């Protein structure tokens, strides 16, 4: 049965581009061709069962002999990566899988490699995920989350899309699903909130739930003493009015969050209220927000809340809350989630219950909460604990129905109250939500940053990078806060600098490393954010840089005029399926070596332009070494665990037979190339050029400090804003260096002219 020109089932084998992916495909598995623009290169997997049930497991076929990378939920809230080569390696709750199928014939070239993305979908009131079994079978797990919502078939449970470029396959596959489902929008269509381009501070790891108005003020003063000013603020958990019916002193607690507590009011608690109760004063929260903006130059203030109001929901029949129709509900987790990592939040809520706002009233709840926050000058919200909703679908049409109701209400309220699309989605790694999000544009990309857990730091970086392969198609990934004063601070900072993500810390007042912060943050409080979500390079997709003991992680991204590859030694820790938690499995990881090359950057051709011939200079951030790299060449890098290097690849522009040039950027910033906004070559007219230059290169550059460029010849002159500027030239490397002053205006772009 031929489904598309490239996908077929023949004699019980699923064949894609001539390569057998699955064997022993059962007769109840049905393929349906994609139809319409963008879908013709793919096909849907469906399945039938003899009886209607709310939960099905469908074997799809035997999967062996092909490398894969998948993203699976290791606990209810978060995904991480897993690599393997057979069905039994595929974890429970796999929501994304990319398969590599090579032609093993002798003499065949690498271009014969085919990549196929498997995307389990939502269909009606049901959600599908992938998993494997001990027979090496790939299985589809289909469930509604409500015993009364049953089916015996699904026509479009998994979408497959195939091609020769893995990044294009993923991108085109998700866009094809977007057209098929028509329930969500791709990241490229969404409005990104403006806070992404400014340095921020979050109160969570600074205070946990003990945050106070005074603590926030102390934090701003502490930053200002070092000359760094956060421009966006997240007041995390600890500001709300909450209470608990549980007086048991043994109540489950983690980092001060009492998970059984419920919201008792939508306004700020006494820690944030006015100390002087006068009629003329605005609400306490408004005073705090006004003070942050007027005295500390903060541009954006976000407030934390759970999607259910608080961890334990909204108090049923609470004073002033009656109209939300909140009622106690007891979460029921999917068997797949239960088969991975247990969670203490769920342990608590399964006993204490959660005050669930009725789905028909949840827009009113969000709108009243958000309109109050907006009236206090708040610009957006960090909405946490989102995947809890999937466990509460009984009686509401199931997990997909209730999640979609909540997401639609949340997006409507955000649009009504926060016009910059001010929302960060957190603890939200389920496809119920991702495939329902039309507007939500920023998503936390991994489990939390845990400053005191030594097992967490390397896996945090690798998990974000691999999760972004999937999440980055839906929203801009957020790599989470970190501490600037920490043994792994520069490791975290370097990764975030090339992640395309918001950059914010959670420093305690008085605990800062300003040398690291100055490599991230410009004097105006802005950051040099890379253009795309940072992802693993092509050659890292199917290796395991957290567990295999031999691979380094390479993450690629682009700036407007260059590309960047960050290399990280992430070995030694990861999620363990035996103990069902993240743990250190190698206390002394090896020092490892890899190579980097300009083709590691998938989009470099688009950055370099049509006339580019493949040559580049590469600037290494930590070593400060500039190297000219011929086309097709690579350079080695050797790193110990928790070490990194950032390589900035700058395409060389040939101006004349003996003259070439490349803009590099701010040499002392982590994301060096992010400073260069524009580079243009103007061939000089001899009669108009005093110094007889062959060309004048015009650059637009943000920031201040040491600016570098490559020139094969010593420049005749450098000018900044039409004023001659001193510069140095290293003949051995071609490095041109000049110093840019601190601009007086925010987001100012210096006009630099270099005559060659």
pLDDT above 90: residue 256: no
- Class of the CATH-defined domain 189-444: alpha beta
**Residue matched to tokens 């051995």:** 732
State both tokens at 170.
């993923």
Beta strands 257-258 and 151-163 are unpaired
Residue 283's pLDDT is 77
d(CA 572, CA 580): 16
Burial of residue 452, with CB atoms counted within 10 A of its CB: 0-12 exposed, 13-18 middle, 19 or more buried: exposed
Mean pLDDT of the chain, nearest integer: 94
Residue 144's pLDDT is 98
pLDDT above 50: residue 255: no
Dump pLDDT digits (tens) for 586-639.
999 999 999 999 999 999 999 999 999 999 999 999 999 999 999 999 999 999
d(CA 24, CA 277): 74
Of residues 585, 479, 488, the one with CA closest to residue 202:
479
Q: Which residues pair with 478 in a beta bridge?
A: 444
Task: Give kind and range of the element (H or E) at residue 424.
Answer: strand 423-425
| Among the ranges given (534-548, 568-582, 685-699), the one the predictor scored with the smallest mean pLDDT | 685-699
Q: Chain centroid to CA 45: how far?
A: 28
Q: Residue 254 — very low, low, confident or very high, per pLDDT cuts 50/70/90?
A: very low
Dump pLDDT digits (tens) for 320-369.
999 999 999 999 999 999 999 999 999 999 999 999 999 999 999 999 99
Q: Residue 259 — very low, low, confident or very high, per pLDDT cuts 50/70/90?
A: confident
| Residues 140 and 90 sit within 8 Å (Cβ to Cβ) | no
Residue 252's pLDDT is 43
**b/e per residue 384-409 (b: at least 16 CB within 10 A):** bbbbbbbbbbbebbbbbbbbbbbbbb
Residue 6's pLDDT is 83
**With left for phi above 0 and alpha for psi between -120 and 50, is residue 551 left, alpha or beta?**
beta
Of residues 447, 542, 553, the one with CA closest to residue 491:
553
Dump pLDDT digits (tens) for 183-208.
999 999 999 999 999 999 999 999 99
Provide the residue ranges of all domains of the chain, joining segments of one domain with +. Answer: 7-182, 189-444
Residue ranges of E strands in 508-608: 535-536, 553-558, 563-568, 573-576, 581-584, 592-596
d(CA 710, CA 733): 8
Dump pLDDT digits (tens) for 431-462.
999 999 999 999 999 999 999 999 999 999 99
Dump pLDDT digits (tens) for 160-170.
999 999 999 99
Task: Give kind and range of the element (H or E) at residue 368.
Answer: helix 362-375
Q: Residue 690 — very low, low, confident or very high, per pLDDT cuts 50/70/90?
A: low
Q: Count H helices, E strands: the chain?
A: 13, 48
Q: Residue 257 — very low, low, confident or very high, per pLDDT cuts 50/70/90?
A: very low
Task: Give kind and range of the element (H or E) at residue 51.
Answer: strand 42-53
* Residue 358, CA distances (Å) to 147, 314, 355 in order: 19, 10, 9
pLDDT above 70: residue 396: yes
pLDDT above 50: residue 286: yes
In percent, how much of the chain has pLDDT > 90?
91
Average of per-residue pLDDT across 550-568: 98
């Amino acid at each position: 049965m031929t489904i598309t020109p490239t996908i077929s089932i023949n004699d019980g084998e699923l064949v894609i581009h001539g390569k057998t992916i699955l064997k022993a495909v059962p007769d109840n598995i049905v393929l349906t061709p994609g139809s319409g623009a963008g879908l013709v290169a793919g096909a849907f997997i469906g399945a039938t069962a003899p009886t209607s049930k709310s939960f099905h497991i469908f074997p799809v076929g035997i999967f062996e002999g092909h490398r894969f990378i998948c993203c699976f939920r290791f606990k209810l809230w978060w995904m991480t990566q897993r690599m393997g080569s057979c069905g039994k390696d595929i974890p429970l709750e796999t929501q994304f899988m990319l398969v590599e199928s090579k032609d093993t014939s002798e003499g065949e070239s690498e271009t014969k490699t085919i990549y196929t993305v498997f995307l389990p979908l939502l269909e009606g009131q049901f959600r599908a995920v992938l998993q494997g079994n001990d027979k090496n079978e790939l299985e589809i797990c289909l469930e509604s989350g409500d015993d009364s919502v049953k089916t015996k078939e699904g026509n479009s449970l998994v979408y497959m899309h195939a091609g020769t470029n893995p990044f294009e396959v993923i991108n085109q596959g998700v866009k094809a699903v977007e057209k098929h489902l028509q329930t969500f929008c791709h990241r490229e269509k969404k409005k990104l909130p403006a806070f992404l381009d400014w340095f921020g501070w979050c109160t969570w790891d600074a205070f946990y739930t003990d945050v106070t108005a005074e603590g926030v003020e102390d934090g701003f003063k502490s930053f200002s003493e070092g000359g760094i000013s956060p421009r966006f603020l997240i007041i995390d958990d600890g500001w709300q009015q909450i209470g608990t019916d549980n007086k048991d002193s043994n109540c489950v607690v983690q980092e001060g969050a009492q998970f059984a507590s419920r919201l008792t009011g939508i306004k700020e608690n006494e820690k944030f209220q006015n100390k002087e109760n006068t009629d003329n004063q605005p609400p306490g929260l408004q005073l705090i927000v006004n003070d942050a903006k007027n005295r500390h130059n903060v541009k954006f203030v976000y407030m934390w809340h759970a999607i259910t109001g608080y961890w334990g929901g909204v108090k049923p029949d609470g004073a002033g809350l009656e109209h939300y129709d909140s009622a106690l509900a007891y979460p029921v987790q999917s068997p797949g989630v239960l088969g991975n990592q247990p969670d203490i939040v769920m342990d608590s809520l399964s006993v204490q219950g959660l005050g669930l706002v009725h789905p028909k009233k949840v827009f009113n709840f969000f709108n009243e909460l958000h309109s109050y926050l907006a009236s206090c000058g708040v610009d957006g919200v960090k909405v946490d604990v989102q995947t809890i909703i999937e466990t509460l679908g009984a009686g509401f049409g199931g997990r997909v129905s209730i999640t979609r109701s909540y997401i639609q209400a949340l997006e409507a309220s955000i649009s009504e109250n926060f016009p910059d699309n001010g929302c960060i989605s957190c603890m939200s790694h389920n496809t119920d939500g991702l495939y329902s999000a039309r507007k939500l544009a920023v998503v936390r990309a991994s489990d939390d940053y845990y400053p005191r857990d030594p097992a967490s730091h390397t896996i945090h970086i690798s998990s974000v990078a691999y999760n972004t392969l999937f999440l980055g198609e839906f929203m801009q990934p957020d790599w989470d806060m970190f501490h600037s004063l920490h043994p792994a601070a520069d490791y975290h900072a370097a990764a975030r600098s090339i992640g395309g993500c918001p950059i914010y810390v959670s420093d305690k007042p008085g605990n800062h490393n300003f040398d690291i912060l100055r490599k991230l943050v410009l004097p105006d409080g802005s950051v040099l954010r890379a253009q795309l979500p940072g992802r693993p390079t092509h050659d890292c997709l199917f290796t395991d840089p957290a567990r295999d003991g031999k691979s380094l992680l390479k993450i690629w991204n682009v700036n407007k005029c260059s590309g960047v590859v960050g290399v990280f030694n992430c070995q030694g820790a990861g999620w363990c399926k035996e103990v069902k938690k993240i743990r250190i499995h190698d206390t002394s990881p090896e020092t490892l070596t890899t190579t980097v090359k300009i083709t590691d950057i998938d989009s470099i051709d688009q950055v370099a332009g049509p006339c580019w011939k493949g040559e580049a200079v590469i600037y290494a951030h930590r070593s400060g070494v500039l190297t000219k790299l011929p086309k097709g060449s690579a350079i080695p890098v050797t790193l110990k665990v928790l070490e990194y290097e950032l390589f900035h690849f700058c395409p060389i522009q040939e101006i004349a037979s003996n003259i070439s040039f490349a803009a590099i950027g701010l040499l002392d910033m982590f994301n060096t190339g992010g400073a260069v906004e524009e580079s243009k070559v103007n061939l000089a007219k001899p009669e108009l050029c005093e110094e007889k230059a062959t060309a004048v290169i015009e650059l637009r550059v943000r920031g201040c400090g040491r600016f570098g460029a490559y020139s094969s010849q010593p420049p005749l002159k450098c000018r900044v804003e039409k004023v001659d500027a001193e510069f140095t030239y290293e003949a051995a490397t071609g490095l041109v260096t000049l110093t840019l002053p601190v601009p007086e205006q925010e987001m100012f772009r210096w006009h630099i002219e270099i005559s060659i």
